[in-house]
Amino acid sequence: MEIKTALLNITKTQNSKIDQVDFSNLPFGKTFSDHMMYCDFVDGEWQQPQIVPYGPMQFDPSTKVFHYGQAVFEGMKAFKDEDDQVWLFRPERNFERINKSSKRLAIPEFPKEYFMESLKTLLTLDHEWVKKGQGNSLYIRPFVIATENGVAAAPSTSYRFMIITCPARAYYDVPIRVLFSEKYSRAANGGVGFAKAAGNYGAQFFPTNIAKSKGYEQIIWTDARTHEYLEEAGTMNMFFRINDKIITAPVSDRILNGVTRDSVIQLAKDNNIEVEVAPVEVKRIKEAAKKGELLEIFGTGTAATIAQVLGFEHGGFVHELPKLKNPYGGFFKKKLQDIQYNRAEDIHGWRFGGY
Amino acid sequence: MEIKTALLNITKTQNSKIDQVDFSNLPFGKTFSDHMMYCDFVDGEWQQPQIVPYGPMQFDPSTKVFHYGQAVFEGMKAFKDEDDQVWLFRPERNFERINKSSKRLAIPEFPKEYFMESLKTLLTLDHEWVKKGQGNSLYIRPFVIATENGVAAAPSTSYRFMIITCPARAYYDVPIRVLFSEKYSRAANGGVGFAKAAGNYGAQFFPTNIAKSKGYEQIIWTDARTHEYLEEAGTMNMFFRINDKIITAPVSDRILNGVTRDSVIQLAKDNNIEVEVAPVEVKRIKEAAKKGELLEIFGTGTAATIAQVLGFEHGGFVHELPKLKNPYGGFFKKKLQDIQYNRAEDIHGWRFGGY
């Protein structure tokens, strides 16, 4: 497959690793495909993007990203249809969001043509790394890191934008149980919660470990001010089904504007499922649970697509959700995957590519 | 100088860079001394610390610190007295705090003897990098980064603890003007504000750039909930002098427990200066300013020691502080430096080392 582009400089691998990979046994995010993209911002501008064999790079110990967490990322997936064509899902959303994240972290915005052309080139070069079949995908991780050497607490003058990809099977295979946070917080008003800033994630690991020790895989974060409103789960936005209506928190400067979240809201509208986008009071959810009206909780995110929640705990109140025959979560998951794998009509133009 | 220690493995440089350094012209944090320490956490334990020549290291693009900001740091300084002895200032405080930060970021705690022995060894090997004379110091940057390869959003299984050092002159040479934050926030209740987490710093760069464009070098962060209380300046704790009393915010889960802050409170007590540790209402500071009773604002931090504030702005209210002949800020700075440079009696046992 020949690739012609003046935008990128391409060095193909001489030693594909693909034959060493067991695609039936892939822990998430540990195996990377043959190529990656990097692009340096120096002297006030983004240089030519480089497509090179995946591999380690040298960094000075004073590199700013190590000290000041000036870094943002995105998560995307590519899917292969039965005709061996590879598709992205709403990649412009991820492009817009990484630049929004970058802006908040004082990182220069990245050019759109570099982003889109790099994705196309990587998916063409590493076409064989995207496997057909339900649940299989190529997880795509664009990220930007501050690369200036020096420990002064000031924005970096140089950056590296990278895209790495890894073959993936379903992220959350099993349904999860969640803990509603009562003490720890993910984001402040006027902070960086809406951004996919690296530091937002590291900050969640300790409280999540505590939740795990109690038997809960994830925390649903509540607002830092009162802990009375459910916000997001850190890697997923959350939906709550009361009777036949689904409720999700509005995006804000604390809550990430998830692509899957947005798509589920649209799919609900398309299918005459009532959606309420409003602050989700813990009290309301607990009361609905007690009355038997809380039928589902599910999370939405690129890695998980839809993760069905089995039960939750809050303030000593433990609740198991009913096991529905046809949950909305499963319905939305199928709708999304049918579009992603090019098995269904795509009325909103979400599918992109066909590489 | 012979160094014997079974704790550390030492590889000395064959090519000291010291003769290439212009010690009279040192931008902060850009020039590093000959040696560094690194120590890897793998297989559930900290391995033997390695002292090696300062230089770049290889990292996989999927290294967790790049993606999830799982990283913490400390800032310390070493000072040389007139007899060529090198001293640290309350290093146990930094040791305790980096482990407190690590714990919140789900990073394993580091052994004390490794920390102290590494400092001693680095200061002995790089003794010539610590220059005598007021304002000169060796800035010491211990930090820990998550080093596992992989993009799953979960705590790393491996870490690297490092100590790098750089010769420094005074950090804030000139007094500064500050903006009291009205919109942006640094930390949430239940968040990581009390920790020296890497992500706390990158998150401040964008709002600080806005402040700089208005002529203010720093932001004094207010509480995310109401923006009515002054908290800290991101790299400094803040003190406000009203008449003859100094006021500073209590430490909390949002506010860093600064070593210089603690030392200034103690020095104030030693010298019969009244100290009030209480939430600092913006309104109170502005009213005192209007009445002419706000005599000083100064910041305290390892990098700056004491940074005197010339003026502030809040909500369109601009105030210039009076120019005092003998400000408390200068008094505390001299007291601290006299202890740090071994020119004064050290009644609290803050000086450490004598390498």
**Inter-chain CB proximity B151 and A162 less than 8 Å:** no
> Which has the closest alpha carbon to A193: A259, A280, A104?
A104
**Integer Cα distance of B165 and A61 in angstroms:** 11
Of A108, A141, A168, the residue that ends a domain is A168
| A191 shares a domain with A80 | no
| B197 shares a domain with B122 | no
Q: Say whether pLDDT at A158 is over 70.
A: yes
Query: Which one of A70, A183, A223, A253 makes the best mutation probe of the B interface by having the most chain B beta carbons within 10 Å?
Result: A70
- Scan for tokens 């012609």, then name that residue: A4
Of A150, A168, A186, the residue that ends a domain is A168
- Scan for tokens 């002995």, then name that residue: B124
Residue B229: CB atoms within 10 Å:
18
Q: How far is B193 from chain A (nearest CA, A)?
A: 10
* Three-class SS state of A266: helix
In a domain, A80, yes or no: yes
Measured between CA atoms, the residue of chain A closest to residue B254 is: A188
In a domain, A69, yes or no: yes
Query: Which one of A179, A189, A252 makes the best mutation probe of the B interface by having the most chain B beta carbons within 10 Å?
Result: A189
| Cβ contacts of B222-225, under 8 Å, gap ≥ 24 | B222/B180, B222/B181, B222/B182, B222/B185, B222/B282, B223/B185, B223/B254, B224/A188, B224/A189, B224/A190, B224/A191, B224/A224, B224/A225, B224/B185, B224/B186, B224/B187, B224/B188, B224/B189, B224/B254, B225/A189, B225/A224, B225/A225, B225/B189
**Integer Cα distance of B225 and B227 in angstroms:** 6
Q: Say whether pLDDT at B161 is over 90.
A: yes
- Per CB-CB distance under 8 Å, the chain A contacts of B224 are 188-191, 224-225
| A160 shares a domain with A184 | no
Q: How far is B265 from chain A (nearest CA, A)?
A: 25
Contact B69/B199 with Cβ under 8 angstroms?
yes
User: What tokens were used for B245?
Assistant: 């009393």
Task: Give the pLDDT score at A173.
Answer: 61
**Inter-chain CB proximity A189 and B185 less than 8 Å:** yes
| Interval A27-68: pLDDT, tens | 999 999 999 999 999 999 999 999 999 999 999 999 999 999
The helix (run of H) or strand (run of E) holding residue A140 is strand A137-146
- Can you tell me the ipTM of this complex? 0.96
Contact A159/A145 with Cβ under 8 angstroms?
yes
| Interval A224-275: pLDDT, tens | 999 999 999 989 999 999 999 999 999 999 999 999 999 999 999 999 999 9
In a domain, B334, yes or no: yes
Task: Give the pLDDT score at B169.
Answer: 86
Residue B60 maps to which CATH number?
A: 3.30.470.10
Task: Give the pLDDT score at B194.
Answer: 94
**Inter-chain CB proximity B191 and A139 less than 8 Å:** no
Q: Say whether pLDDT at A3 is over 60.
A: no
Q: Say whether pLDDT at B172 is over 70.
A: no
| A329 shares a domain with A181 | yes
Task: Give the pLDDT score at A1.
Answer: 43
Task: Give the pLDDT score at A6.
Answer: 79
Q: How far is A261 from chain B (nearest CA, A)?
A: 19
Predicted TM-score (pTM) of this structure: 0.96
**Integer Cα distance of B114 and B48 in angstroms:** 8
Of B147, B168, B189, the residue that ends a domain is B168
Measured between CA atoms, the residue of chain A closest to residue B154 is: A205
Query: Which one of A105, A163, A206, A210 makes the best mutation probe of the B interface by having the most chain B beta carbons within 10 Å?
Result: A206
Residues ≥6 apart with Cβ < 8 Å to A7: A48, A49, A113, A114, A117
Work out the angle at residue B122's Cα, subtended by the Cα atoms of residues B267 and B193, and round it to the nearest 5 degrees: 50
Q: Say whether pLDDT at A172 is over 80.
A: no
- Per CB-CB distance under 8 Å, the chain B contacts of A141 are 62, 67, 151
Q: Say whether pLDDT at A2 is over 50.
A: no
| Interval A76-126: pLDDT, tens | 999 999 999 999 999 999 999 999 999 999 999 999 999 999 999 999 999
Measured between CA atoms, the residue of chain A closest to residue B148 is: A30
Contact A39/A163 with Cβ under 8 angstroms?
no
**Integer Cα distance of A319 and A322 in angstroms:** 9
- Amino acid at the residue B147: T
Total domain count for chain A? 2
- Per CB-CB distance under 8 Å, the chain A contacts of B209 are 106, 155
| A102 shares a domain with A22 | yes
| B232 shares a domain with B140 | no
**Inter-chain CB proximity A32 and B141 less than 8 Å:** no
- Per CB-CB distance under 8 Å, the chain A contacts of B234 are 153
Within 306-335 of A, beta carbons closer than 8 Å to B belong to none
In a domain, A346, yes or no: no
**Inter-chain CB proximity B106 and A62 less than 8 Å:** no
**Integer Cα distance of A178 and A239 in angstroms:** 13
Task: Give the pLDDT score at A174.
Answer: 72
| Interval B247-288: pLDDT, tens | 999 999 999 999 999 999 999 999 999 999 999 999 999 999
Q: Considering CB atoms only, which of B30, B151, B235 is closest to A29?
A: B151
Q: What is the mean pLDDT of chain A?
A: 95
In a domain, A51, yes or no: yes
Residue A333: CB atoms within 10 Å:
21
Task: Give the pLDDT score at B137.
Answer: 97
Work out the angle at residue A103's Cα, subtended by the Cα atoms of residues B28 and A93, and round it to the nearest 5 degrees: 145
In a domain, B355, yes or no: no
Structural domain including B287 reads 176-340
**A160-196 burial, b for 16+ CB within 10 Å, e for fewer?**
bbbbbbbbbbbbbeebbbbbbbeebbbbbbbbbbbbb
Judged by a CB distance cut-off of 8 A, whether residue A53 touches chain B is: no
| B191 shares a domain with B157 | no
Q: How far is A23 from chain B (nearest CA, A)?
A: 16
| Interval B101-156: pLDDT, tens | 999 999 999 999 999 999 999 999 999 999 999 999 999 999 999 999 999 999 99
In a domain, A267, yes or no: yes
- Residue A171: pLDDT band with limits 50, 70, 90: low
| B216 shares a domain with B149 | no
Q: Considering CB atoms only, which of A141, A224, A303 is closest to B191?
A: A224
Residue B276 maps to which CATH number?
A: 3.20.10.10
- Residue B1: pLDDT band with limits 50, 70, 90: very low
Measured between CA atoms, the residue of chain A closest to residue B190 is: A184
Phi, psi angles (nearest 5°) of residue B283: -60, -40
Q: How far is A221 from chain B (nearest CA, A)?
A: 11
Phi, psi angles (nearest 5°) of residue B255: -115, 130
| B185 shares a domain with B164 | no
In a domain, B80, yes or no: yes
| B292 shares a domain with B198 | yes
- Amino acid at the residue A120: K
Query: Which one of B51, B76, B99, B206 makes the best mutation probe of the A interface by having the most chain A beta carbons within 10 Å?
Result: B206
**Inter-chain CB proximity B71 and A202 less than 8 Å:** yes
| A148 shares a domain with A106 | yes
Measured between CA atoms, the residue of chain A closest to residue B167 is: A151
Judged by a CB distance cut-off of 8 A, whether residue B179 touches chain A is: no
Percentage of residues in chain A having pLDDT higher than 90? 94
Q: How does DSSP classify residue B128?
A: G
**Integer Cα distance of B313 and B177 in angstroms:** 8
**pLDDT-wise least confident of A10-14, A170-174, B237-241, B333-337:** A170-174
| B328 shares a domain with B272 | yes
